[in-house]
Every structure is written in structure tokens, then in C-alpha cells.
Structure 1
Amino acid sequence: MNAQQELAKYKSIRSWSPKIGDFVIYHALFWTRWYGIISEINGQFVTLTVENLPKLLLTMTPEEQIENKKTISIARMQGARGGSYAIMQDGVWHIDG
């Protein structure tokens, strides 16, 4: 790998605008709490399908997806501090920083 190459592309989470399918990681107090994929956008809120492990998230049945929903304010996610949320959208990580 060339020394000039970036390990990953990233932007400030404050510049993030949600899209269906964004991959979200929520981290708190030394461990990852959950992984999620945005399934709905409703005004100032997003609804995510969440699970504790990425493999489980990506292999959920439709019934499990309905049972494992979480709704969060977009402003809360954009204003997060301390690395609480990391969001992958179109090959770019959106993190606080």
C-alpha cells in the first residue's frame, strides 16, 4: 500500500444526511452496543433495524426485522460526541471529529 493512500475516507458526522441503507454502529462505554441499517426516514427521525452482531443483522428474517426496530433523532446522531455513532454511507465513514 502506498504511504499516500488513506485507510478509509471519512467526514464529520455533522455533515451526514441519512439515506435508506446506511450502516450504523452505536458504541458506548468501551464496547459496541449494536449495529443497524436505516430502514425508514421520517422527518427528523430515522428508524433502524438493529442487532448485536453484523452477521445476525444481515441474516434476519422479515419477522425479526420488524421486532428489532429502533427510532432515533437525526439531531442526536449528528450531535454525538466521543465516537457514539459511526455511519457508513456510499463508501465514506461519518464520525464525530
Structure 2
Amino acid sequence: MTPIATIFSIGLMFRDNKYHLVRLDFGENLRHTNYANTEHSVVIYGSHAHFNAPSGKYSPKNVVPIGNISEFKNIKKIRDALIEFIDYTNIKKK
């Protein structure tokens, strides 16, 4: 979980096929079901990360809780999330 009250996302997406390489969704009230519509389904609450996932809202995909990613577990400001995301994805600033 992250203590940021605002709901926001940061991500890298391939434009041609609208596929997310990585997308971080921040917000304490978020809810995502992993393994949807299977006997192994589990609900993930709060901030989470999508890796190699389709962009459609109803496309099945699994997420990782942000708290499981050490670089993002103590984020307190949107600015900090963006800076950590840039470092995490190895984006070079010009």
C-alpha cells in the first residue's frame, strides 16, 4: 500500500498494440482480481503493478502489489513515484 490519497497511473505502453510493458497504479481503494474467473482467483487491494499486460479494462491480467516492489513501497508523493519510475525503467533524461 502507498499513503498517497490520489489515484493515478504511470506506465510505458507500446502504441501500436496498446500493450503495457509496465504500468503502476497507485491508490488505496483500488481492487484487482488476479486469475479472474478461475478457481485460483485472488483479489489484490491497493496500489499494484502491471507487467507485460494488455491495456483493455476487461482483458484478463495479473498484478503485483506495489508493496512487493522495494523501490515503490514507501512512496509518499506523486513526484517521488515518477522519479522512482524513471529510475526503475532506466529512462534516460536528456
TM-score over 0.5 for the pair: no
Q: Which has the higher strand share?
A: 1
Which TM-score tier does this pair reach, normalised by the shorter chain?
Answer: 0.3 to 0.5
Q: Which has the higher helix share?
A: 1
TM-score in terms of structure 2 length: 0.33
Which structure exhibits the higher relative contact order, with contacts defined as CA atoms closer than 8 Å and separated by 6 or more residues? 1
